[in-house]
Structure 1
């Protein structure tokens, strides 16, 4: 449990330090080129993966209600993942499973911190660099914060061949999504479960 806690804290620190730095040094949509294929590009996500909003899926509810529902769901989800992790450690399940759950839990918790607190502890980044703990208050209430993303890998951009169905001739960027350290941790965790499934869930020999 102690080793798991240390790894979780390390991942959270890397994630939150990077987000706080971006939030307090970049304006929204400001970018900095590191390499031709890698940029620091500050965007905020108030929805789910790839910027999808719950209200896009369920158009009969408003954006504010959808945001509150999404944040609440994330909180319950992280509690479930945390319980699974603690239970796996206590019952001495495979190290592969525990390692994967540590990454998933850390990443999910990192993004939940943004959703729950960032609206309160930062003002907005539109046309300005945000201030940490602004005197006149944050850009929104608790539970309505936006997730900070900044890692952008536009490795290739060009027009696709005309013979490709539906997308032929369209301008295409690979890899277009912008993400953060927490997303990387979640992806690593799910990747471990996917590619090392037999080690994560070994079959008991009767």
Structure 2
């Protein structure tokens, strides 16, 4: 997961070649970042610590107590999108199977914490409402500027506490933005729907798995 390319293309109706270009980008990202780890590496710890007010002190604390969870502020190094575990699993499946992969992900108490690009917590709820997907998506808890979250320990020792699903392993992890998270939410909703319910992602001639359209057919 050390080589990431950021896909900032908005999910909105556009030219006919948008879907093909997005598919190519996603395929490249999957090829470059297929592997992921459930254990934090030293560069990943440095990235996490960069979110703290005093990064060096945070790293020193982790070195002394690697099994202790930490509380980090959101909004600078990352935002957090907190989703129900089952829906989060569907989102991750889509992100890794058809999309660009994910950033770091943690799990705790039946929820998944997706680390996202700063600003995502503010924009994602608005995008869901704008695209009329707000009612179809389970309640999301979006943590941004002014919020803090408990993250798993660098070396979790308890199965009951927070744990890493995809641990940070680089100083500059790729983090999905609000448009990519919107795409993942739409795909996760589609995965959980009955087969006879038609949902598409932008008007397009073909309806194969590589069409990314964010409109809902009622």
TM-score over 0.5 for the pair: no
TM-score, with length taken from structure 1: 0.29
TM-score, with length taken from structure 2: 0.27
**Structure with the larger RCO, 1 or 2 (CA within 8 Å, 6+ apart):** 2
Q: Which has the larger radius of gyration?
A: 1
> Which one has a larger percent helix, Structure 1 or Structure 2?
1
